[in-house]
Amino acid sequence: MNQYCQNRTGLFGVVIDAAKCVGLMLMMCALINCSATESHLLVSKSTPQNLNQNSQGTQIAFLADVHLHDIYAAPMSGRDNTDLQKVNLENSFPKELGTQAPLLMRSMQAQLTSTRLFNENFFVFRAALDDIAKRGIKLVALPGDFSDDGQPANVKALARILDEYHTRYGMRFFAITGNHDPVRPFGRPGGKPNFLAADGKEVAIYSPDHTRCINNQAWFCMNDIREWGYHDIMQTLKSHGFSAHAQDVLYETPFSSAEFEQRGWQWCDQTSCIFMPDASYLVEPIKDVWLLAIDANVYIPKGKYAERNFKGSGNAGYNALLTYKPQLLQWIKSVVKRAKAENKRLIAFSHFPMADFYDNTQPQLENLFGKTSNQLKRMPLSSTTEALNATGLKLHMAGHMHLYDIAVPENHTGLVNIQVPSLAAYQPGYSIVTLNPHHEAIVETVIQKEVAQFDTLFPIYFKEWQQRQRHGQSLWNKSILASEDYLAFTEAHLKEVVRQRYVGKEWPNALATFIKSHTIGDVFNNAICSVGANTIPDEVASQPAMVLAYDYYKLRNAGAFANIAGREKWYISSTNEEGFKACKTPNPNELQHLLADFLSLLHNAALATDSTEIIVKGV
């Protein structure tokens, strides 16, 4: 009981100590038989709005994993003189061509070992909002990781951009938290070792309270890259979902108050209790349309609760939510029940997936790469998905994985989970939900190919490449700087991530070594029984085997949007797991097994490409 001692602050009083917490829990369970309370908060009620209703129906855009990084947050004379006087570095920051504005940017090397871009997000976010404005869409949801790491510079920049588009186009924005915002529930020192100096060198920039700054081991120290906690993030973005708006027909939270200080849970161990913030809310921005924003972050305490030391929420997700936030699940059930009774159109969104996002290939991935590979810790358990389906939700828009995927129940009824692609990765895009008059939600995904200024920083990256070459450091493929558009840039980014991170560090050594030094034909010929080798045309067989690796991650990340020059048909027809199982090669060696396992995985990825549009009934 101590482990799960939580309550709704304000409804049952503030828990002072563990003993009182347990007593209240026992009393509450006796009174309500541990069932969900129907209490909820109606914060505001106003005249129904006709915002964003047209002949197509009501439309809502979902932009997940924006990871906004404000490249213009570098200190400047006249604005940050105090910081600049401490160290004479003003001219050491990279400068934007033309304006000569100093830039706070991460290195290309950092980008090419990460699942996301950092610097270009500033440009692609605006491009996506411009596209949404042209479509006349007024409602925009942000399912978490809207900032790089919840830093003041980036959250403030996001607020300015959202304010601008609200003023110019009348857009309403509805943000919910992700594992990067906040990184931990309460503020803490921040920074990174791989920002760029003007000469192309990677440098360490941290907040003044970080040990790197305290010990004079940082190149520069600035407060704006500290990592904010819940309170500062919600306060800064209060006009964009985290508090009631005058236009809202309804706004509620799972708690007895919409005040930030009252929105959270009491968690207790044997000796003390902590207050854990929760940003969840329900809003009716226009008549009969309900947007359910679920804060699925779970920061599991490390050690005693009184020490206020927490794990990050990246691998926790809904698996942990069922244990640490059970009341939130009961509130969701209440929302679904009321939406049905009142004939509301309900769409849920949060940062974390509610269902399988790898098209049922988890056993294959575990067998080939290991149980902790491919971010498999983030995979919802089947029991977790069943519990979420039992809430009655029909449609959930998620992020976190930086890929596009649709998970539909086997019986085609119940919860549909849409993985909204990230604008910061291949293929970059966002999703639009159209609510038609027939209680159907049409979900389509838009790829953001063109982005003005996407190549603004290329000359600076080239200086970085030259710097690395001069100092004998590992070199990234500079052909990325020849990308003709933003889509090509994200494809080149993915290829380098595959080369440097996935194949380079995460694959079994024998498989990685073979793939890097052979052709596609060699892979098929050396797999068990050479299954499919005779069906691959010469123009495909002669290509480097790394193309197979690139194609797999393209298919996995982008589904039907992936462009692999028609090779998917060969992967589907030439190899499958059953073919390898039927083969009776005597004593196949490890490499033969590894190649066969990878080709089976590639076969399934090519076979499971999700449609670019889906209709969800009953929404």
Span 581-590, pLDDT tens digits: 666 666 667 8
Determine the straight-line distance between the first and last CA of the chain, rounded to whole angstroms: 37
In the listed set 424, 447, 470, which residue is the last one of a domain according to the structure? 447
**Predicted pLDDT at 176:** 99
In the listed set 447, 471, 495, which residue is the last one of a domain according to the structure? 447
Collapsed DSSP state (helix, strand, coil) of residue 536:
coil
Count how many domains the chain has. Answer: 2
The reply to whether 93 falls in a domain is no
The reply to whether 160 falls in a domain is yes
Q: Is 523 found in the same domain as 438? A: no
Q: Is 519 found in the same domain as 442? A: no
The full DSSP string for 573-592 is: HH--HHHHHH---SS--HHH
Q: Is 543 found in the same domain as 410? A: no
Residue 519 gets which letter from DSSP?
B
**Predicted pLDDT at 411:** 77
The reply to whether 100 falls in a domain is no
Q: Is 359 found in the same domain as 270? A: yes
**Predicted pLDDT at 9:** 33
Q: Is 511 found in the same domain as 431? A: no
The answer to whether the CB of 598 falls within 8 A of the CB of 606 is no
Cα–Cα distance measured from residue 13 to residue 32, given in angstroms and rounded to the nearest whole number: 16
Collapsed DSSP state (helix, strand, coil) of residue 268:
strand
C-alpha separations of 244 from 10, 139, 257 in Å: 19, 15, 11
The answer to whether the CB of 186 falls within 8 A of the CB of 408 is no
Q: Is 269 found in the same domain as 180? A: yes
Q: Is 179 found in the same domain as 62? A: yes
- What are 284-322's pLDDT values in tens digits? 999 999 999 999 999 999 999 989 999 999 999 999 999
The reply to whether 77 falls in a domain is no
Q: Is 519 found in the same domain as 383? A: no
Q: Output b/e per residue, 327-360; b: 16+ Cβ within 10 A.
A: bbbbbbbbbbebbeeeebbbbbbbbbbbbbbbbe
The reply to whether 587 falls in a domain is yes
The reply to whether 88 falls in a domain is no
- Select from 10, 197, 170 the least CA-distant residue to 89: 197
CA atoms within 13 A on the CB side of 441: 27
Residues of the chain with confidence (pLDDT) below 70:
1-55, 77-91, 530-533, 576-588
Cα–Cα distance measured from residue 436 to residue 59, given in angstroms and rounded to the nearest whole number: 9
Collapsed DSSP state (helix, strand, coil) of residue 129:
helix
Cα–Cα distance measured from residue 369 to residue 475, given in angstroms and rounded to the nearest whole number: 26
Q: Which domain holds residue 327?
A: 53-69+105-188+227-447
Q: Which two tokens mark 114?
A: 């990460």
- What are 25-58's pLDDT values in tens digits? 433 333 333 333 333 343 333 334 445 555 578 9
Cα–Cα distance measured from residue 427 to residue 610, given in angstroms and rounded to the nearest whole number: 14
Cα–Cα distance measured from residue 298 to residue 378, given in angstroms and rounded to the nearest whole number: 12
Cis bond upstream, residue 266 (ω within 30): no
The full DSSP string for 377-397 is: GGSPPHHHHHHHHTTT--EEE
- Which amino acid is it at 285? P
User: For the domain that residue 143 is a member of, what is the CATH number?
Assistant: 3.60.21.10
pTM: 0.89
The reply to whether 275 falls in a domain is yes
318 phi-psi bin (left φ>0, alpha ψ -120 to 50, beta other): alpha
Cα–Cα distance measured from residue 516 to residue 482, given in angstroms and rounded to the nearest whole number: 23
Collapsed DSSP state (helix, strand, coil) of residue 194:
strand
Q: Is 263 found in the same domain as 160? A: yes
Collapsed DSSP state (helix, strand, coil) of residue 190:
coil
- Select from 127, 131, 147 the least CA-distant residue to 59: 131
- E-assigned strand segments in 181-245: 191-196, 202-206, 220-221
Q: Is 541 found in the same domain as 443? A: no
Collapsed DSSP state (helix, strand, coil) of residue 181:
strand
Average of per-residue pLDDT values in the chain: 89
Q: Where are the alpha helices (DSSP H) in 16-97?
A: 18-32, 81-86
Q: Is 58 found in the same domain as 137? A: yes
- Select from 69, 58, 105, 60 the least CA-distant residue to 423: 69
Q: Is 232 found in the same domain as 381? A: yes
The reply to whether 81 falls in a domain is no
Collapsed DSSP state (helix, strand, coil) of residue 281:
strand
Cα–Cα distance measured from residue 237 to residue 248, given in angstroms and rounded to the nearest whole number: 16
Helix-, strand-, coil-residue percentages of the chain, each rounded to 5: 40, 20, 45
* Strand 53-54 relative to strand 57-62, pairing: antiparallel
